[in-house]
Amino acid sequence: MSLMSFENVVKVYPALRSALPGARRGAGRRLAVDDVTFSVGRGESYALVGESGCGKTTLARLGLALIRPTSGRVRFAGADVHRMRARELFAFRRRVQMVFQDPVGALDPRQRVWSAVEEPLILHGKGPPRRRLEQVARLLEVVGLSAEEGRRLPHQLSGGQRQRVVIARALALDPDLLFLDEPVSSLDVSVRAQILNLLCRIRRERGLGLVIISHDLGVVRHVADRVGVMHAGRLVEEGPAGGVLASPAHPYTQALLEAVPVPDPGARRPPPAQPPPEPVDPARGPSRGCLYAPLCPRAQGRCFSRRPPLRPLPGAAGTPPPPGAGPGRLHLVACHHPER
């Protein structure tokens, strides 16, 4: 049973109105999310990967009902998130939280740490002030912040501490689903591991579902059950994390994996067969065919004319789907010439 599902979601950002007369109408419209369908189960950890600007963050904002989709829908526990009434939306907000990408921007510069963590508790009427403060103290402890650090202002904290505050705040309401937008990209390596382990622990303890947005494949390998690969606003490959990362089928995923630097120079891989992918501007790409075709070494005629649907990899990779597993367990790819 999926907790949140995206169904054919499309988000077009309108063009900025141009001051120049005669500018083409509709020029500069940006197709940020192009017909994306996927779902996240209860307690599942789903990672969205892809280069910056491919629409990952837009998907998160759609999932949190911060923006409305141009078409398609997002369901949470069966209900359309963007058609909720104020009361339903408020209940939804308690259950779906987000850890924002930039821990500097995500905290009000004038709000002390404990106040930032207490805010969701106040908004959702969680008990009298005394109880709330106890809860804040507990949350700070969970993320490893001291009471003294709780009295500070955001600018008096390090990047790692700020990220912990953002996480404590997101956990305050004991949500069922947590979006994490590049949760560790602003942190240095030692803090990164601490935060990731913290997230894994909380996930185990609370049965929390995660949607992790990241371009860091190391992070994805560490925490994700399933991976969705996005390119130019489209989901191009999806499947169990092990399968997708070990045997990517889409040429874009392959290029993405090859672009990861190898930490051990002795274990150098053969040089990539192609340059790392250039970001593709969705507005300028071929709108009908595969958006990766201009960069793809395997592209053929129909790649430029027909959009490849997301479908199960022919002869599904290695492990046959266990009995009773939903379609979510399948390895899907949107490519006319997937590689095994």
Partner 1 sequence: MARAGGWAMVAAGASLLLFLTAAALAGPWLAPSHPDEISLEESLLPPGPGHPFGTDYYGRDLLSRVLAGARVSLAISFSAQLVALVIGVSLGAAAGYFGGWVDWLVCRLVDIVMAFPDLLLAIGIAASLGPGPSSVLLALGLVGWPGLCRVVRGEVMALREREFIDAARVAGAGDWWVIRRHVLPNVAGPVIIATSLGLGSRILQEASLSFLGLGVQPPTASWGSMVHLGLRWLSRAPWLVVFPGLAVALAVLASNLLGDGLRDVLDPRLSD
Tokens 């969205």 correspond to 48
Task: Count CA atoms closer than 13 A to 153's CA, side-chain side.
Answer: 5
Does residue 19 belong to the site contacting partner 1 (CB under 8 A)? no
Q: Does residue 101 interact with partner 1 by CB under 8 A?
A: yes
Residue 107: both structure tokens together:
């905290």
Among 11, 61, 215, 336, binds partner 1 (CB under 8 A): 61
Minimum CB distance to partner 1 smaller for 61 or for 307: 61
Residues 124-163 that bind partner 1 (CB under 8 A): 124
Q: SS3 of 221, please? A: helix
Do residues 37 and 310 lie in contact, with contact meaning Cβ atoms separated by under 8 Å? yes
CB of 90 to partner 1, least distance (A): 6
CA distance 179 to 48: 10
Nearer to partner 1, 56 or 61 (CB): 61
Alpha-carbon distance of 18 to 211, in angstroms, equals 36
With binding defined as CB under 8 A, does residue 209 bind partner 1?
Answer: no
CB of 141 to partner 1, least distance (A): 20
Judged by CB under 8 A, does residue 90 bind partner 1?
yes
Sole window of 105-113, 144-152, 202-210, 252-260 interacting with partner 1 (rule: CB under 8 A): 105-113
What number of helices (H) and strands (E) belong to the chain?
A: 11, 12
Q: What is 102-141 written as a DSSP string?
A: -TTTTS-TTS-HHHHHHHHHHHTT-S-HHHHHHHHHHHHH
| Spatial distance between the Cα atoms of 310 and 236, rounded to a whole number of angstroms | 7
Beta carbon nearer to partner 1, 68 or 284: 68
Nearer to partner 1, 107 or 196 (CB): 107
Residue 173 Cβ vs partner 1, minimum distance, rounded to whole Å? 8
* 3-state secondary structure (DSSP) of residue 11: strand
Phi-psi region of 125 (alpha: psi -120 to 50; beta: other; left: phi over 0): left
Write out the binding residues for partner 1, residues 164-183 only, by CB under 8 A: 166, 169, 172-173
Q: Is 110 in the site for partner 1 (CB under 8 A)?
A: yes
Nearer to partner 1, 154 or 338 (CB): 154
Tell me the number of residues near partner 1 by CB under 8 A. 27
Binding residues (CB under 8 A) for partner 1: these are 61, 64, 66, 90, 93-94, 96-98, 100-102, 105-111, 119-120, 123-124, 166, 169, 172-173
